[in-house]
Each structure stands twice: as structure tokens, then as C-alpha cells.
Amino acid sequence: MVALKNVIDDEIARQEWFLPGNSCCAGCGLEIALRWAMKALGPKTAMITPASCLNVVIGLWPKTAPKFSQFNMAFAAGAAAATGVAAAFKAKDYKFPGQGWNEMVSICFAGDGGTTDIGIQGLSGAAERNSNIIYVCYDNEAYMNTGIQRSSSTPHGALTTTTPFGKERFKKNVPAIMAAHEIPYVATCSISEPLDIYEKFKKAKSIEGCKYIQIFAPCPPGWGYLAEDSIEMARLAVKTGFWILYEIENGVLTLSNKSKSLVDPSKRLPIIEYVSKQKRFAGISEKTLIEIQERIDRDWEKIVDQLECQSK
Amino acid sequence: MTKVELTDFVQNKETQIIKGNVAAANAAKSARVQVISAYPITPQTTVVEKLSEFVDGGYMPGTQYIKMESEHSVMAATIGASMAGTRTFTATCGQGLFYMYEMIHWAAGVRLPIVTAIVSRGTAPPWNIWADFSDVISCRDTGWMSSFCATHQEIYDEILMSYKVCEDYDVLLPKFVAYGGFILSHTSKPVIIEDQDKVDSFLPDLPDEKGWPHIWVDPERPIMHGNLIMPSGFYSEFRMKLHIALLEAKEKIKNATKEFEKVFGRSYGNGLIQEYNMDNAEVAMLTYGDLALQMEEAVDQVREEGYKVGMVKLRHFRPFPTEEIIKLGKKVKVLGVVDRGIAFGSQTGGPVSCEVKTALHDIEGTAKVFPMMNGIGGREVSLEQQKNQLKLLVKYNETGELPKDMIHGTYWDGLLEVK
């Protein structure tokens, strides 16, 4: 596990790459995710941002907050555009060798709608081709930019403007879908663990091929809690075991620090601790609450099964 | 029009007897494209197959070929690669082009010099894979340039000329190079594949390491592109400038055509249009794509019968050669326009005949426009039909008489009987 000292010693990480003065809401989870991802990646990065809050929070033209190359992109086009950028880097490295084009990172930074719904075909294509990109999904569990409509990443029971009585279906497990593509690196992060974000992006940068990282990024207006509680929401999601922190490197699953001990069900906080603090779960039925808890326990059983299988 | 004769093949070692699609792939190779992103669709497939041979076989060193999972992703990847400072190429048609449509707008909005071959085919339903320019014409208002090819050689030549025009720093726009599915794509003809040094002398080695003048990836000079812009911002102005760039590209197209002729010895009129047998013509037929090739023969034969007919091949649909059409309108008394593509619900139903009518509107003493449609969905158009079309123009000029079976002011040739 990386220590704060490592980050302080990292000249690139000491600097800010997503600058203050941007248009994020107070307590925005995305902002923390992007800020820490960029501390690990630094300026030799070209970022594609398909339609999402990120298109807006970077600032209205001509103001802009990223201090790195950043390109807005159509909603479904994130992974493919990043693939094109990565191909260009390779072509440029051939044409202009020794100029550092091979060190450039092509990254797509998308929301959960742009990833789990409209962008999943392009993402699957990039994964199958093993395109040399980092694909990031910052997951705030709904279409926040357009006004809190449900996405396939919205959790069961959550109220959105298109699920006025709570979402019936469960959250789509895209990290598992990406792992099934057998790409070299899949990881989950939470904004409550910035050093973990830093470390995972450092690792992703060093790996050739398609990397997928999903960052749990709470949204105060979308979820209905006070802005100062964003970190606490993300932390509770981890502590209840609702959001599991792990890496899958070349098919091998490793639980990250904060999730390791939660293999023991008694170490997990009950989901009510998390759900009861957000207005989007207001009026949730006991039945739904039990369903959510059962789903968490089942997800963990799968994790335990895989870990056992690996150790054989 | 340049006709490649068999003697060229004998004399020129660079001449190959190849399919139109192979000519397109060779043009991408000659242009030294750096990134190709493609997805197969009939009848474009042999373009991407040939390019796979070229790239995977090591004949295009350094070129990256991304085999995408859909056309939407194809154009997205092409945009990404072009933004990051490389010369790019792709090919598609019909349904694939429609699936790409969102990104077509995006490419023009970023002002990227992407060249895309369109092996034009009919639009479903019902399924149709044969020559019909409705596909490329449906991208009329996207900000792309678009041109039509009539011969195999023209496919190769036009792609080279297109890079020259698209990458001009005063233009910086994407371009479609369209040709009829199967009629050109899957038939073989002699095509001169030019010597690489000669192509290099015509086509500058762009972009340089810094990228394009308006967009690049450089950690030392980070830029953002495409941020949300309020109505009070420069949105209208960006759009207006795109319109102006398209119109001003006309001069660049003319210049590139002239320079091409100087270097390679093949002529394509002024680039926007190409006249055939227009000396003392009283009536003329305007058409485009492969229909224009057979129309030359029709003109020759009808002339032999003593009628003063001529033909004009429309080479560019966008930018539209308004000035040339106005001049043409002054030269002849009747201007027929044959469309192989539909503009549903428009004045004539034919996309080009509508444009011609618009161009000639308000012009005094100009030719009367005679709109015609044929060959939709790849239906065969015979030489006899085309000769008859020319004679209809003559009759209209001499007697003012139009055929009795006009459909809302347009002559649909070769229709089956429908009840």
C-alpha cells in the first residue's frame, strides 16, 4: 500500500492537474476521483470525456479546469475515441521515434451512464481488442448531469426521476463484465480511499493493454445528503461491503486493503447504516432492504469462492 | 473524362487491373495514412480486406489498423486518431454511414481532415446493397465535403486529391469520396497506381509532429476541445466559419485538380464539374457517379444522330458548384438532371435536381431544368435508356413537351408497373 509520503515525494502528484475554480457541485465525488487519478497519471495524458457531468464541470467555454489535454466526446464514443488516440500515439512513435510518444497515456473518463449503458458496446470492443487505454467509470449511480435519471448502475431501491418508486433491478456489475473480457487489469476504487486511487492508476499506467477502473463517486444532490458527507458515504459503501475494493490483474483477484477484512460477514456494517443516510432510499421497504443485504452477501460469497479457487 | 485504355496497361508498369475497392485501398496506401479504423459492410468489404493485407503484410509500415466493433466506433476512433495528429482513412456506406451519423457531425465540428470512401448503396428497408447515392447525400448538412467518382481511376485519384484539399490549413474539413456499390467497387479495370515518390511530391507529409494547426496532443501545450458553450458564446460563429470554409474550399478543389493534372496528367474538369462534349450543345444532361460514365457513350451516339447534346458530370455535391451551374444554365436551353438517390418530399424528389433548381432560381434567361430519376437501389440503367433521356431533353427544347408519365414534375425512368 502506498503511503502519503510516496505521493508527497512524487513531483507530479504534488501538483494539481484538475484545477480549482471548476464548476463541480460542493462535495462532488467526480472531482476527487479525477483529481487523484491525474496525480498518478500526470500531464503526458490525453483524456477523452464522453457526455457526462465532467463535460460541464470542466467549465463553460472558454474557461477550462484540466491542466492536461482533454477532449469532449459524444456519449457512446468514449472508448473508441480513446482507442483512436492510442493508435495515433503508436503511429507517431513510429514516425517520430524517441520523442516520448510511447509514454503517452490515452484515457477515457466516463460516467456510469456513458459506461454501463450507451457506451458499453464501444467499451466491450476496446476490451476485446485489448486497446492500450485506461477506461475509467466514475460511478455516481445515475444520469446526474441530465437530472438524476436511472442508469443500469443505479442500485436496487434507489429513487431517481425515472424510478419514482425505487429501482426494481440491481446495479449492473460492469467490473465483472470487464474481467470476463480477460483484459490485463480491472480495479475498483472509492473516493474515500484516494491513496488507493493513486496506486491503482500508477499500476494501470504501467500495464500495456486495456485497463478498466471503476471509481465509486457519491453525488450529494443526486443521492440526497449534505455535501460534507461525500467521503462518509463512500466510506460507508465500502464498510457495508456494498462497494468492494479489488484488483483483477491477469485474471487474479486481490481484495484491496479496506475490503480485505470484510470477507468475514461479521465485519461488515449492516446496509441500513448506509441506506438510511440518503434521501434516494427514503421510504424503502423492508423487503427491498433485505433484498439489498442478501445481494451484498451473495456478491461476497462469489468473491470468497473466487479467492478459494485461486488459492487451490 | 479520363479513360484508361488498355494500351496504358501495356505501357505503364504501374497499371494494375483491379476492383474499384482495391483502387481505394491503394489510394490510402499511396497517401501513407497512419491510422485506419474500419468495420466491414457490403459492398465496402474489399476495401478493408485489402487494407488488412497491406497493413498486416507489412506493406504500410507504421500504419495502425484498428478493427472496430461498429461504424459509430469507427468514426469515433478516426476522430481520436486525427485529433492526436495523424492522417486517417476509413470506408463505409449505407446503413454503416447512418449508424456513424452522430460522429460524422463531430468530425466536421472538430474540423478534422478525415477522408472516407463511401461505396454507395441503397437504404433499408427493404435490404438493398446496390448502387444508390442516397446514403452519402443524406449527410448533406453535416459540414463534410462530398464527391462522386465515375471511374476506377477516379477513385484512386480523387482520394489523393481529397487529402490535399482536406489538409489545406484554410480548409481543414473531412470529405466523402463516393462511388457506386458493385458497379465500380466489384468490377475490375486498369488503374494506374502512381509511383510513391510522385505521390509524395504531390501530397505533403502532414501533419508534422506538432499536429494540426488547430488541434493537437502535447503535454507542453495542453488544450481542451469541445466544452459546453452558451448561446451568447461563439457557437454561431464556429458554425458560420464551417460554412464559409466549405464554400472557400471550392478554390482549393480547383487548385488541387489543376496541380494533380500537372503532376499525373489526368484531368477532372475544374474539379467541381467536368464537361463532356459540350461544344455547341443546346441541351445538356447533368449527372454523377457511374451513371456519368455510360452517359458519355450515350452522348456520343445521340450526337451521331445529329442532336446537339452534351453532358456535365457533377464531381462535388458539397461544396455545391453554384457558379458553374449558373454558367451552364446560360450555355444551354434545357438542363436535364439525373439523380440516383432520393430526397423524399422535396420539390423534385432528386437531391441534385433540387440543388440545381435552387442555383438557377432568380437567374434570368437560364435553362429549364428537367429532373429525372433512375437507377435507384442499383437498378440497371441501359445505354438505350440514357440515349432516350437525352432525346427527351431535345424534344422538350424543341416542342416544350414533357413525357406524359411525369411523377410530380419528375421523370422516373425504368420503373416497374405499380398499381
Query: Cβ–Cβ of B66/A79 closer than 8 Å?
Result: no
Query: Cβ–Cβ of A121/B34 closer than 8 Å?
Result: no
Q: Do domains B6-264 and B273-412 have the same CATH topology?
A: yes
Interface check for B204 against chain A (CB to CB < 8 A): the answer is no
What residues of A are in contact with residue B214 (Cβ under 8 Å)?
Answer: none
Mutation site, B116, B227, B234, interface A, largest A CB count within 10 A: B227
Interface check for B238 against chain A (CB to CB < 8 A): the answer is no
Residue of B177, B156, B213, B117 whose CA lies nearest to B31 = B156
Interface check for B142 against chain A (CB to CB < 8 A): the answer is no
Interface check for A45 against chain B (CB to CB < 8 A): the answer is yes
**Dist CA A34 CA B226 (whole Å):** 19
Interface check for B64 against chain A (CB to CB < 8 A): the answer is yes
- The burial of A253, by beta-carbon neighbours within 10 Å (0-12 exposed, 13-18 middle, 19 or more buried), is given as middle
Interface check for A80 against chain B (CB to CB < 8 A): the answer is yes
Positions of chain A with pLDDT lower than 50, given as ranges: none
Interface check for B85 against chain A (CB to CB < 8 A): the answer is yes
pLDDT of residue B9: 47
Give the distance from residue A57's alpha carbon to the nearest chain B alpha carbon, in angstroms. Answer: 10
Strand extents, DSSP E, B88-184? 88-92, 115-120, 145-148, 175-180
pLDDT of residue B43: 98
Interface check for B82 against chain A (CB to CB < 8 A): the answer is yes
Q: Which residue has the cell 460511478?
A: A139
Point out the residue among B64, B75, B106 whose CB comes nearest to the CB of A87: B64
Query: Cβ–Cβ of A88/B34 closer than 8 Å?
Result: yes
pLDDT of residue B5: 54
B218, B210 in Cβ contact below 8 A? yes
Point out the residue among B78, B80, B227 whose CB comes nearest to the CB of A64: B227
Point out the residue among A60, A88, A125 whose CB comes nearest to the CB of B86: A88
Calculate the CA A288 to chain-centre distance.
Answer: 25
A151, A141 in Cβ contact below 8 A? yes
Query: In what helix (H) or strand (E) does residue B311 lie, and over which residues does it extend?
Result: strand B309-314
pLDDT of residue B344: 97
pLDDT of residue B13: 64
pLDDT of residue A103: 97
Interface check for A84 against chain B (CB to CB < 8 A): the answer is yes
pTM attached to this predicted model: 0.97
Query: Cβ–Cβ of A125/B69 closer than 8 Å?
Result: yes
Interface check for A54 against chain B (CB to CB < 8 A): the answer is no
pLDDT of residue A3: 87
Point out the residue among A43, A72, A74 whose CB comes nearest to the CB of B227: A72
State the complex-level ipTM: 0.97
Query: Cβ–Cβ of A74/B73 closer than 8 Å?
Result: no
Task: Return the domain boundaries, chain B.
Answer: 6-264, 273-412
Mutation site, A41, A67, A71, A103, interface B, largest B CB count within 10 A: A71
Domain topology for B6-264: Rossmann fold (3.40.50)
pLDDT of residue A197: 98
B290-304 and B383-399 helices cross at what angle (nearest 10)?
60
Domain B273-412 has CATH 3.40.50.920: yes
Interface check for A98 against chain B (CB to CB < 8 A): the answer is no
Residue of B371, B411, B46, B77 whose CA lies nearest to A74 = B77
Give the distance from residue B82's alpha carbon to the nearest chain A alpha carbon, in angstroms. Answer: 7
Point out the residue among B76, B85, B219 whose CB comes nearest to the CB of A77: B76
- With the C-alpha atoms ordered A83, A84, A87, A88, is the resulting torsion angle positive or negative? negative
Read off the pLDDT of each residue in B325-330 and give the average, rounded to a whole number: 98
On average, the pLDDT of chain B sits at 96
Strand extents, DSSP E, B102-246? 115-120, 145-148, 175-180, 188-192, 224-225
Interface check for A19 against chain B (CB to CB < 8 A): the answer is no
Point out the residue among A69, A77, A91 whose CB comes nearest to the CB of B222: A69
Percent of chain B with pLDDT over 90: 96
Q: Taking 50 as the threshold, does the pLDDT of residue B8 lie above it?
A: no
The residue of chain A nearest to residue B39, with distances taken between CA atoms, is A125
Inter-chain Cβ pairs, chain A and chain B, closer than 8 A: 177
Q: Label residue B12 by pLDDT band (50, 70, 90).
A: low
Mutation site, A56, A83, A135, A181, interface B, largest B CB count within 10 A: A83
Interface check for B46 against chain A (CB to CB < 8 A): the answer is no
Q: Taking 60 as the threshold, does the pLDDT of residue B248 lie above it?
A: yes
Q: Which CATH number fits domain A4-311: 3.40.50.970, 3.60.150.10, 2.60.40.10, 3.10.450.50?
A: 3.40.50.970
Residue of B351, B353, B379 whose CA lies nearest to B367 = B353
pLDDT of residue B419: 73
- pLDDT per residue over B22-74, tens digit each? 999 999 999 999 999 999 999 999 999 999 999 999 999 999 999 999 999 99
Calculate the CA A162 to chain-centre distance.
Answer: 23
Give the distance from residue B280's alpha carbon to the nearest chain A alpha carbon, in angstroms. Answer: 53
**Dist CA B343 CA B335 (whole Å):** 19
pLDDT of residue A2: 85
The residue of chain A nearest to residue B101, with distances taken between CA atoms, is A74
Q: Residue B278 corresponds to which cell in the numbers above?
A: 459540350
- pLDDT per residue over B108-130, tens digit each? 999 999 999 999 999 999 999 99
